[in-house]
C-alpha cells in the first residue's frame, strides 16, 4: 500500500530502521515565517538583518545538469544495496552483502577481513551497513551494534560501542557514532567512550564541519517526536525545535542532517517531512514546497549531501532527489517512482560533480549515478 497511515509512518521511524521506507507524509500548509531569501542580509554587512546563505550564488541552471545512468541487477547476487560513497565519477564504493567497487564500467568485490576475529572474511554478510569515508583505504561501516573501521582498505577492526545508526568524523582519530536511546560514542584513535547526549531519543544521523561544530538528529522511538542536537566541542545541546516551525510538531520527525562551511558561514540543513536551512545556527528558513507531492503530502527526505551551501542535494522516499544551486531547486523526476512498490533508496552520496544513490528495484540491487555535464 503506497500511502502509509500517519501512525504507521511514526512507528516505522521509531523502529530504528537503517534502510529507508517510503514516507508519504501529510503535513500542514507551508510555513513561510522562517523564509529569509528576500529579507536577509546575504553577506552579514547589516547587523540589523539575519544572515543567510545566498552570498556568491551560482545562478546558472547548468549546476542542475546531471546526466543519470541507472544500473539494475548489475551486481551479481545482490538484491539490496545499503551504503554508498562517491570518491569520483568512476570511483564509487557500494555496500551490499559484500563490499564493491564501481569504476564506471565494472563492479568488483573489495577483499575485506575482520582482523579482530581471526581475519574472517566480511564479504557475504555486510547487508545493512552504511559507510562514512575519509579515503578509499580509510573508512567506517556502521550497522546495529557493530562498527567496523579499516585503515588500509582491506583489514577491519571490529568495535561494538553500543547502538550504532550512523557516524561522522573530522579525522580518523576523531569519530562520533550515534545510536538509539540517545547514545553517542566518541573514538579518539584508540578506543570508544560514551558521551553525554542530553537526550534519550533515538539519534539517526550525524554530520559536522569540525570537532566543535557537529549536528545530529533523530526522534523519540515511541512518539516520533523530533530531536536536533548540536555539539560545540564540549557539550551536546538539544535545540529548540519551535524555531523550525512545523518541524517542532512531533509527527514530523527529523531523519537527515548535513552541514558545511561556505562563504565564511556554517550552513546546516535538517530534513524529514520538510527541509530547513540555517546559517551560523541562527534563523531557520523553510524549503517545504520542494518536496511537495500534492494533496498536502510530502516525500520524506532521508539524506542530505553536497559540496557547499549552493550545491547540495536532498534524497527521499521513492527515489525523490532534488538539487539546490543557491537560488532554485531542481527535481530529477525521472528517478522518482512512488507508485512502484519494488523500488526505494537506502543511501546517497554526492561529491564534486558526481552523485550516487543505492537501494533496490524489482527485487534486485539498484544504483543510479549522476554526472554533471
Q: What letter does residue 242 receive in the DSSP assignment? A: G
| Exposure b/e, 91-121, CB count within 10 A at least 16 = b | ebbbbbbbbbbbeeeebeebebbbeeeeeee
Query: Is position 20 within any domain?
Result: yes
Give CA–CA dist 173/193, Å, rounded.
13
How do strand 202-210 and strand 213-219 relate by DSSP bridges?
antiparallel
- Distances in Å between the Cα of 8 and the Cα atoms of 81, 120, 257, 277 are 24, 39, 23, 27
- Distances in Å between the Cα of 31 and the Cα atoms of 35, 243, 254, 282, 343 are 8, 11, 16, 17, 31
Q: Grade residue 254 by pLDDT with cuts at 50, 70 and 90.
A: confident
> How confident is the model over 193-245, as pLDDT tens digits?
999 999 999 999 999 999 999 999 998 877 778 899 999 999 999 988 877 66
Give CA–CA dist 287/313, Å, rounded.
12
Q: Which three cell numbers stand for residue 306?
A: 553536497
Q: Grade residue 116 by pLDDT with cuts at 50, 70 and 90.
A: very high
Question: Helix, strand, coil % (nearest 5) of the chain?
Answer: 10, 45, 45
Query: Is position 178 within any domain?
Result: yes
* pLDDT given for residue 285 in this prediction: 81
Helix, strand, or coil (residue 182): helix
Give CA–CA dist 347/96, Å, rounded.
11
Q: What is the mean pLDDT of residues 308-320?
A: 95
Query: Is position 172 within any domain?
Result: yes
Residues facing residue 299 across a β-bridge: 24
Task: Please determine, for residue 58, whether its predicted confidence score (pLDDT) is greater than 70.
Answer: no
Query: Is position 341 within any domain?
Result: yes
Q: What angle do CA 286, 287, 290 make, to 5 degrees?
A: 160
> How confident is the model over 29-55, as pLDDT tens digits?
344 333 333 333 334 444 444 444 444
Give CA–CA dist 69/371, Å, rounded.
9
Query: Is position 158 within any domain?
Result: yes
Give CA–CA dist 93/91, Å, rounded.
7
Q: What letter does residue 342 receive in the DSSP assignment? A: T
Q: What residues make up the domain containing 89?
A: 6-372
Query: Is position 1 within any domain?
Result: no
- Contacts of residue 74, defined as CB under 8 A and 6 or more positions apart, other chains included, come to 107, 365, 367
Task: Please determine, for residue 24, whether its predicted confidence score (pLDDT) is greater than 60.
Answer: no
Quickly tell me which residue has 565494472 as its cell: 106
Query: Is position 201 within any domain?
Result: yes
Which of 74-88, 179-193, 241-255 comes out lowest in average pLDDT? 241-255
Higher pLDDT, residue 368 or 11: 368
Give CA–CA dist 41/31, Å, rounded.
20
Task: Please determine, for residue 358, whether its predicted confidence score (pLDDT) is greater than 70.
Answer: yes
* pLDDT given for residue 338 in this prediction: 87
Task: Please determine, for residue 339, whether its predicted confidence score (pLDDT) is greater than 80.
Answer: yes
- Contacts of residue 294, defined as CB under 8 A and 6 or more positions apart, other chains included, come to none
Percent of the chain surpassing pLDDT 90: 66
Q: Grade residue 60 by pLDDT with cuts at 50, 70 and 90.
A: low
Q: Which three cell numbers stand for residue 361?
A: 528495484
Closest to 271 measured CA to CA, from 236, 235, 306: 306
Q: What is the CATH number of the domain that holds 345?
A: 2.130.10.10
Query: Is position 117 within any domain?
Result: yes
Task: Please determine, for residue 183, whether its predicted confidence score (pLDDT) is greater than 80.
Answer: yes
Total structural domains within the chain: 1
Amino acid at each position: 500500500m503506497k500511502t502509509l497511515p500517519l501512525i504507521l509512518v511514526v512507528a516505522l521511524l521509531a523502529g530504528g530502521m537503517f534502510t529507508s521506507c517510503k514516507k508519504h507524509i501529510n503535513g500542514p500548509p507551508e510555513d513561510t515565517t522562517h523564509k529569509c531569501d528576500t529579507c536577509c542580509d546575504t553577506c552579514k554587512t547589516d547587523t540589523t538583518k539575519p544572515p543567510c546563505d545566498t552570498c556568491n550564488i551560482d545562478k546558472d541552471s547548468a549546476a542542475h545538469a546531471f546526466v543519470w545512468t541507472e544500473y539494475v541487477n548489475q551486481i551479481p547476487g545482490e538484491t539490496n544495496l545499503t551504503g554508498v560513497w562517491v570518491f569520483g565519477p568512476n570511483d564509487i564504493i557500494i555496500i551490499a552483502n559484500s563490499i564493491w567497487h564501481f569504476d564506471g564500467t565494472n563492479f568488483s568485490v573489495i577483499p575485506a577481513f575482520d582482523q579482530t576475529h581471526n581475519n574472517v572474511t566480511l564479504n557475504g554478510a555486510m547487508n545493512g551497513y552504511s559507510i562514512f569515508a575519509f579515503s578509499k583505504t580509510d573508512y567506517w561501516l556502521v550497522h546495529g551494534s557493530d562498527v567496523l573501521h579499516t585503515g588500509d582498505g582491506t583489514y577491519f577492526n571490529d568495535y561494538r560501542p553500543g547502538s550504532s545508526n550512523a557516524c561522522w568524523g573530522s579525522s580518523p582519530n576523531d569519530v562520533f557514532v550515534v545510536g538509539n536511546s540517545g547514545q553517542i560514542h566518541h573514538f579518539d584513535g584508540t578506543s570508544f567512550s560514551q558521551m553525554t547526549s542530553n537526550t534519550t531519543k533515538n539519534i539517526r544521523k550525524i554530520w559536522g564541519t569540525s570537532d566543535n561544530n557537529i549536528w545530529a538528529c533523530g526522534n523519540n522511538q515511541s512518539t516520533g517526536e523530533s530531536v536536533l542536537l548540536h555539539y560545540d566541542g564540549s557539550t551536546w545541546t538539544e535545540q529548540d525545535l519551535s524555531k523550525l516551525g512545523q518541524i517542532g510538531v512531533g509527527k514530523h520527525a527529523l531523519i537527515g542532517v548535513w552541514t558545511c562551511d561556505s562563504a565564511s558561514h556554517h550552513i546546516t540543513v535538517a530534513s524529514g517531512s520538510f527541509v530547513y536551512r540555517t546559517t551560523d545556527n541562527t534563523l531557520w528558513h523553510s524549503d517545504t514546497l520542494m518536496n511537495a507531492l500534492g494533496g498536502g503530502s510530502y516525500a520524506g527526505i532521508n539524506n542530505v549531501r553536497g559540496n557547499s551551501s549552493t550545491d547540495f542535494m536532498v534524497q527521499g522516499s521513492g527515489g525523490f532527489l532534488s538539487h539546490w544551486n543557491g537560488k532554485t531547486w531542481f527535481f530529477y523526476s525521472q528517478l522518482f517512482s512512488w507508485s512502484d512498490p519494488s523500488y526505494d533508496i537506502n543511501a546517497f552520496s554526492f561529491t564534486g560533480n558526481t552523485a550516487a544513490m543505492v537501494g533496490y528495484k524489482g527485487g534486485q540491487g539498484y544504483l543510479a549515478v549522476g554526472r554533471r555535464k
